[in-house]
């Protein structure tokens, strides 16, 4: 994709409401100028469609500057990294499609705050962990989440098991507690032994 920031200075961008570059064989990364449109007083950008290209890299974290954005379609590309938490700041967002990329790790829990979503799809990525609980996300069909073997929780049929990290922390805390108890009893018995021994010597001498 063109990376020249100067292109946003054209008059045509001032009233831009729809940007669709789907099926254009685009390569490279999402350019910085896309998230700078608001700073250039282009306030009515409502739709971004970059689907079915070959765009790589992380999804832009400063996408939340486009507060009037209601449709973000980035499916069928080669995006990697995590789903940026900043997407949850797009309070007007109604359509979010991130399927068929290489997004990984845990879905941000803040996605549950997107209350106006009508279409949502993160299928066929490498996401893992529990789907954030929230009325909006649980209302979508399981197809919107399929193709992520390590993803769990409603609306998927596979339930989430106990969190290994939490289990490990609990076990560590128990080990620490057991160690403290053993240390405490050691000092108690040592002190009692000293007292008994002291009085035994005293009685023998007097």
Q: Where are the domains of the chain?
A: 5-160, 162-206
| CA–CA distance, 71 with 97 (Å, rounded to integer) | 9
- More confident of the two residues 177 and 83: 83
Cβ contacts of 133 within 8 Å, gap of 6 or more: 112, 153, 154
- The whole-chain average pLDDT of the chain stands at 72
Q: Is the pLDDT of residue 67 over 70?
A: yes
* CA 96/CA 48 separation, integer angstroms: 10
Other CB atoms within 10 A of residue 112 CB: 17
CA 127, 132, 133, 135 torsion: positive or negative? negative
Architecture (CATH level 2) of domain 5-160: Alpha-Beta Horseshoe (3.80)
Please give the average per-residue pLDDT across 65-84, as a whole number: 86
Question: Can you give the pTM of this predicted structure?
Answer: 0.65
Distance CA 25, CA 115 (A): 33
């Amino acid at each position: 994709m063109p990376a020249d920031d100067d292109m946003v200075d054209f008059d045509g961008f001032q009233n831009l409401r729809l940007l669709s570059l789907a099926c254009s064989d685009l390569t490279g990364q999402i350019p910085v100028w896309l998230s700078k449109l608001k700073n250039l007083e282009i306030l009515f950008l409502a739709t971004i469609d970059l689907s079915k290209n070959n765009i790589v890299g992380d999804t832009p974290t400063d996408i939340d500057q486009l507060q009037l954005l209601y449709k973000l379609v980035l499916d069928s590309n080669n995006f990697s990294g995590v789903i940026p938490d900043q997407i949850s700041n797009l309070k007007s967002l109604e359509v979010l499609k991130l399927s068929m990329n290489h997004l990984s790790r845990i879905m941000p829990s803040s996605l549950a705050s997107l209350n106006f979503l009508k279409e949502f799809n993160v299928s066929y990525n490498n996401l893992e962990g529990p789907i954030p609980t929230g009325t909006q996300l649980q209302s979508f069909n399981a197809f919107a989440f399929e193709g992520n073997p390590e993803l769990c929780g409603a609306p998927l049929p596979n339930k989430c098991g106990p969190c290994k990290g939490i289990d490990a922390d609990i076990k560590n805390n128990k080990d620490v507690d057991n160690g403290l108890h053993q240390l405490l009893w050691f000092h108690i018995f040592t002190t009692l032994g000293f007292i008994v021994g002291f009085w035994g010597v005293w009685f023998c001498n007097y």
